[in-house]
Structure 1
Amino acid sequence: MGILDRMRRAVTRDANIVTAEDLLNLSREGRLGGKSVHVTNDSALRHSAVWAALRLRADLVSMMPIDVYRKVQGLQVEVPKPPVLVTPGGQEVGIKEWMYSTEFDLDRAGNCFGLITERTGVIGPDGRGLPGRIDLVELSEVTVRANGSQIKKFKICGTEYDPWEVWHEKQYTVAGFPLGLSPVAYAAWTIEESLNAQQFARDWFGAGIIPSGTLKNVGKTINQKNAREAKEAFRAAVSNGDVFVHGSDWEYKPIQAVAQQAQFIEARQFGMGDIARFFGVPSDLIDAAVSGSSVTYANISQRNLQFLIMHLGPAVGRREDAFSRKLVSNPRYVKLNTDALLRMDPAARAQTLKTQIDSRTLAPSEARAIEERPPFTEEQLAEFDRLFGSRSVPAQPTTAVPGATS
Structure 2
Amino acid sequence: MGLLSGLFRSRDKPQNRTSGSAYSFFFGGSSAGKRVNERSAMQMTAVYACVRILSEAIAGLPLHLYRYKEDGGKEKALDHSLYRLLHDEPNPEMSSFVFRETLMTHLLLWGNAYAQIIRNGKGEVIALYPLMPDRMTVDRDGNGQLYYEYTVSMDDAPTVKGSVVRLKPSDVLHIPGLGFDGLVGYSPIAMAKNAIGMTIACEEYGAKFFANGAAPGGVLEHPGTIKDPQRVRESWQSTFGGSGNSNKIAVLEEGMKYTPIGISPEQAQFLETRKFQINEIARIFRVPPHMVGDLEKSSFSNIEQQSLEFVKYTLEPWLVRWEQSIQRTLFSPEEKKQYFAKFNVEGLLRGDYASRMTGYATARQNGWMSANDIRELENMDRIPAEEGGDLYLINGNMLPLGNAGAFANTEVSDDGKEEDSDEEVLEVEEPGGDGNGSGSEDAVLERHHRRGKLV
Both structures adopt the same fold (TM-score exceeding 0.5): yes
1:133 to 127, 130, 134: 127
Matched, 1:277 2:283: yes
- Provide closer, same or farther for how the CA distance between residues 108 and 231 of structure 1 changes in structure 2, counting only shifts above 3 A: closer
Contact 2:287 2:314 in 1 (8 A): yes
Q: Which runs of 5+ in 2 are unaligned?
A: 1-8, 19-23, 153-162, 389-396, 410-421, 424-455
Alpha-carbon distance, 1:118 to partner:
3.5
The residue that corresponds to 2:211 in the other structure is 206
2:364 to 357, 370, 387: 357
Alpha-carbon distance, 1:39 to partner:
0.6
For 1:228 and 1:253, locate their aligned partners in 2 and report how far apart those are by CA, in whole Å: 18
- Provide closer, same or farther for how the CA distance between residues 33 and 236 of structure 1 changes in structure 2, counting only shifts above 3 A: closer
For 2:292 and 2:144, locate their aligned partners in 1 and report how far apart those are by CA, in whole Å: 36
- Provide closer, same or farther for how the CA distance between residues 351 and 212 of structure 1 changes in structure 2, counting only shifts above 3 A: same
The secondary structure found in structure 2 opposite 1:249 is coil
Bigger mean CA offset, 303-312 vs 233-242 = 233-242
The secondary structure found in structure 2 opposite 1:43 is helix
TM-score using structure 2 length:
0.69
Contact 2:14 2:183 in 1 (8 A): no
For 1:98 and 1:63, locate their aligned partners in 2 and report how far apart those are by CA, in whole Å: 11
Alpha-carbon distance, 1:186 to partner:
1.0
Q: Percent identity?
A: 21
Q: Which amino acid aligns with 2:72?
A: G
The secondary structure found in structure 2 opposite 1:42 is helix
The residue that corresponds to 1:50 in the other structure is 47
The residue that corresponds to 2:173 in the other structure is 167
For 2:45 and 2:384, locate their aligned partners in 1 and report how far apart those are by CA, in whole Å: 52
- Provide closer, same or farther for how the CA distance between residues 204 and 198 of structure 1 changes in structure 2, counting only shifts above 3 A: same
For 1:134 and 1:156, locate their aligned partners in 2 and report how far apart those are by CA, in whole Å: 18
Matched, 1:326 2:333: no
TM-score using structure 1 length:
0.76
1:305 to 308, 321, 325: 308
Alpha-carbon distance, 1:305 to partner:
2.1
- Measured on the aligned residues, the alpha-carbon RMSD in Å equals 3.8
The residue that corresponds to 2:453 in the other structure is none
2:199 to 184, 194, 208: 194
Alpha-carbon distance, 1:256 to partner:
5.0
- Provide closer, same or farther for how the CA distance between residues 109 and 358 of structure 1 changes in structure 2, counting only shifts above 3 A: same
The residue that corresponds to 2:101 in the other structure is 100
For 1:89 and 1:170, locate their aligned partners in 2 and report how far apart those are by CA, in whole Å: 20
Q: Which amino acid aligns with 1:281?
A: V
Q: Which has the larger radius of gyration?
A: 2
Task: Give the paired residue count.
Answer: 364
Task: State the Cα deviation string for residues 221-250 of structure 1 (Å, max 9, x = none).
Answer: 31343x345445545655796765444612
Contact 1:65 1:340 in 2 (8 A): no
- Provide closer, same or farther for how the CA distance between residues 221 and 349 of structure 1 changes in structure 2, counting only shifts above 3 A: same
Matched, 1:152 2:147: yes
For 1:224 and 1:28, locate their aligned partners in 2 and report how far apart those are by CA, in whole Å: 53
Which protein has greater RCO, CA pairs closer than 8 Å, 6+ apart? 1
Contact 2:63 2:342 in 1 (8 A): yes
- Provide closer, same or farther for how the CA distance between residues 149 and 313 of structure 1 changes in structure 2, counting only shifts above 3 A: farther
Q: Which runs of 5+ in 1 are unaligned?
A: 1-13, 122-128, 382-391
Contact 2:32 2:197 in 1 (8 A): no
Contact 1:119 1:130 in 2 (8 A): yes
